[in-house]
Amino acid sequence: MLVTGANGFVGARLCSELARQGHQVRAAVRDSARVVDLSGEVVVTGALGTATDWSAALEGVDAVVHLAARVHVLRDTAADPVAEYRVVNVEATQGLARAAAARGVKRLVFASSIKVNGEATGDRPFRHDDVPAPADPYGVSKWEAECALHRISHETGLEVVVVRPPLVYGPGVGGNFRRLLKLVVRGMPLPFGAVDNRRSMIYNGNLANALAACSFHPDAAGKTYLVSDGEDLSTADLVRRLAAALGVTARLLPVPPQILRLAGALTGRTAEIDRLTGSLRVDSAPIRTELGWGAAYSMQEGLADTAGWFAALRP
């Protein structure tokens, strides 16, 4: 089977998981200079867009997991962010799906994003059948890609499975999660002691296992699944868990969330503060009941693995 975006921290883990399960893996990457230690055959596709040639990557393939994407960027400086996202996340995805269908590929699993549902939850978690409410160009592009894939599925018979993960963590994680690791290990006082939110996350080992299940289970065809570790943490609890895994003391200050949001507005960091103070929970019951999937690793194990990787990076 084919895995696109195979040199990302989810893709590399997925290739290893598929190989462990006994599947033949073809790892698609954009640039051979960035190839990491991947399981299986490696094929270079070049930049993703309308002109991407998928023929070599799809030769003899029966299933595809499409991870390659233009990922969410805080404070995007592109002149037209929506257009930039659409080229990679929508147009290249459509091209891959049509090429796959033309070559007789049975199934395409699309790694979308919980941002298709929205940015925050209230009294209940997001569900797979909620009305989509993407709030930024990245989320819009993922929703448009999902719609395009379902159209192509209807036209061609290609089985499509959509997976919308929340925040993904694990060895190799970047972004805000990695910045949080840096702050915790340095013993920096963090103003989240009074934050009582709840956020779903998923360890990349669990996401890899879920994507593998969606690739082959007969009941997954045509479905959309939200996935998580199954445990929701407040930002304060996450800091405490990371500190314990890193062997340091969590230093949390009880700053009221309203003050944090005001500070975020004054410094132009509203979106970041909202993620740290707001709730975003997902309902992963359908994939558990319909596919019999369960998180292979507890959140405690996932955080310990992530902390161990991060600690090893430091001199």
Residue 71 has a pLDDT of 82
pLDDT of the residue at 76: 54
User: Looking at residue 13, which CATH number applies to its domain?
Assistant: 3.40.50.720
The region that residue 81 occupies, defined by phi over 0 for left and psi between -120 and 50 for alpha, beta otherwise, is alpha
pLDDT attached to residue 314: 73
Domain that holds residue 96: 2-171+201-231+281-297
The per-residue pLDDT for 80 is 76
SS3 assignment, position 75: coil
Q: Is residue 309 part of a domain?
A: no
Whether residue 195 lies inside any domain: the answer is no
- Residue segments in the chain with a per-residue pLDDT below the cut of 50: 74
Tokens representing 234 are 């407040």
Residue 246 in any domain: the answer is no
Q: State CA 292 to chain mean position distance.
A: 21
pTM, to two decimals: 0.94
Handedness of CA 60, 65, 66, 68 (dihedral sign): negative
Decide if 243 is inside a domain: no
CB 58 within 8 A of CB 2: yes
How many separate domains does the chain show?
A: 1
Catalytic residues: 138
* Residue 189, in any domain of the structure: no
Q: Beta strand 26-29 with 107-111: parallel, antiparallel or unpaired?
A: unpaired
7 part of a folded domain: yes
Are the C-beta atoms of 215 and 107 separated by less than 8 Å? yes
Measured between alpha carbons, how far is 204 from 222 in angstroms, rounded to an integer?
23
Residue 257 lies in a domain: no
At 270, give phi and psi (nearest 5°): -60, -45
Q: Report pLDDT digits (tens) over 147-167.
A: 999 999 999 999 999 999 999
CA dist 163 and 167 (Å) reads 13
In a domain, 254, yes or no: no
